[in-house]
Chain A
Amino acid sequence: MAETDFASAFEGDVPVGTKTPSALRNRVQDWIPATVAFIAVIGVWEGAIRAFDIQAFVLPAPSVIIQRFVETSDVIWSAGLNTLIEAVGGLVLGTVLAVLVAAMTVRWAPVREGLMPFAIAANSVPIIALAPIANGMFSITSPVPKMVVVAIVVFFPVMVNTARGLIEVDSAELELMRSYAATPGEIMWRVRVPHALPYFFSALKVVSVLSIVFAIVAEYFGGPQDVLGQYILTKANLFVYPDAWAGILVASILGVALYALTLLSERLFMPWHVSFRASDAS
């Protein structure tokens, strides 16, 4: 998980040129295959259910899910908001801690040498197994135990990626700064931090989606009822599958929204980056 996307962030050739109207048109064209594929899948899904008379407890038709999505919108969006608060709370908490620890690993080599192997090993612990314990450690009726689970999930990939970005700076850039007699603080802000941003955002793109997933899974282990995990669980137990699917749809929308927000902030914070250059169509 921690390794995701490092390389891809730096791949591609280095084109010379800037954004042009045709680049914008290309961008629209880029979306066409995905949109067509999406509509086709929904169409096949709907058609198959009608053609083979598949029962709703196996798989409800998209039209039925959309109908319940609209009819129950008050309840599911209220649950969605509570889940979102847990996810974003955990995302912020985990990310802030991860960045602080990553910065410390750069400033103090013993922290790096002592912590990194442990961090990488800890990353393989099935973190969701901690959910019931977190419920016991904090008030089960509060969103805090879920935030803690999400924060732990978020922490390791962000910390490992960010630390790598801060450390793996071109040695010539460091010598250049040395020739200016720059202080460690100046090297940190002017070279290491900008260099780490692409690494940081690769990790953030992964964990922004995971935060919703893990908030919902943590909710399955109990706690307040007005959350997506409990809503989906309850509806599934009552065999009201279209309602459960409507809840899943809300979860998906939230996940995509968080991902899109991360992409947007990535562009705001590093407009110079290779992956945004005009001819990059990937």
Chain B
Amino acid sequence: MRVVDAKGVGKTFGTGSESVEALRDINLTIDPGEFISLIGPSGCGKSTLLRLVGDLTGPTSGELSINGKPASQARSNRDYGIVFQKATLLDWRTVKKNVELPLEIMDIEDSAAADEMLDLVQLGDFKEHYPWQLSGGMQQRVAIARALTFNPSLLLMDEPFGALDEMTREQMQQEVLRIWDETETTVVFVTHSIPEAVFLSTRIVVMSPRPGQISDVIETGLDHPRDVETRESPEYYRKVTEVREALRRQEGHG
């Protein structure tokens, strides 16, 4: 069964002369275990597409099913975890309590889950800290642990490392790959960084703006596990170039 199946999905914000067409005719299928990046310039609707998958907003046309169900049903079933650009931790909760938040809401009795997830993101020593005591990268790792603590089949990430410095960013990419490998979660990852998309993904969905459409889908085909050497390999550079050229071709249209 497909994790994501979008058929002719469109999204228009507002009505009449004020309306903005954010997405047009999106056809996309994502299989279990894939790591998909959505990449494109600002205004290409990549975040909107992610939010449609998460049922944080609804499509105005087309059909979208998640795990074979309507997106709203998938959300009610807690099929996905989400990580935003901002860590969005609750200030009044300790790190551990933040990670346990979804468990509390979903009435899941699993006292070990939060600990396991915090070990997975290598923050086992910071359980009793408050969010303000952590660096930006650590906060984002807590957000990832929180998104995975209830074992969702799908992980949605909306430019999760956009606010981090380059060094931390590469570290986090490595960790996300490790976590993806260990948990066998399907990941949909929004980014505007070409190297990030190539390093992380199995497939890259290249989008073009006004209105947001899918212009190319590129298989990366790089071997796993990926590490620093992957970043220095000729295949990696070729893929980065391929994605860059796909993005550049759009400028000709616009």
Contact = CB atoms under 8 A, between A and B. Distances in A.
Q: Interface size for chain A: under 10, 10 to 19, 20 to 34, or 35 or more residues?
A: 20 to 34
Interface in B92-114: 92-93, 101-102, 104-106
Interface of A: 14, 16-18, 170, 172-173, 175-182, 186, 190-191, 194, 197, 270, 272-274, 277
Contacts, number: 56
Contacts of B78: 180-181
Given A14-B132, A180-B102, A272-B130, A191 B75 contact: no
A17 B132 CA distance: 9
B163 interface: no
Interface of B: 54, 56, 75-76, 78, 80-82, 84, 86, 88, 90-93, 101-102, 104-106, 130, 132-133
Nearest to A176: B88
Contacts of B81: 179
B178 to A, nearest CB: 24
26 contacts: A170-B88, A172-B84, A172-B88, A175-B56, A176-B84, A177-B105, A178-B56, A178-B75, A179-B54, A179-B56, A180-B101, A180-B106, A181-B75, A181-B105, A190-B101, A190-B104, A190-B105, A194-B90, A194-B91, A194-B92, A197-B92, A270-B92, A272-B91, A272-B93, A273-B92, A274-B91
The 8 lowest CB-CB distance pairs between A and B, nearest first, are A194-B92, A172-B88, A272-B92, A179-B82, A180-B105, A181-B76, A182-B105, A14-B132
A181 B81 CA distance: 11
Contacts of A277: 132
A197 to B, nearest CB: 8
Given A175-B56, A181-B105, 17 more contacts: A14-B132, A16-B132, A172-B88, A173-B88, A176-B88, A178-B56, A179-B54, A179-B75, A180-B101, A181-B75, A182-B105, A190-B104, A190-B105, A194-B92, A272-B91, A273-B92, A274-B91
Contacts of B101: 180, 190
A172 B86 contact: yes
Nearest to A15: B132
A179 B54 CA distance: 7
Contacts of B54: 179
Contact of A191 (B56, B80, B90): B90
B50 to A, nearest CB: 11
Nearest to A179: B82
B190 to A, nearest CB: 14
Nearest to B134: A16
Nearest to A191: B90
Nearest to A197: B92
A178 B54 CA distance: 10
A179 B80 contact: yes
Contacts of A176: 82, 84, 88
A191 B93 CA distance: 10
Q: Which of A175, A176, A277 has the most CB of B within 10 A?
A: A176
A220 B248 CA distance: 80
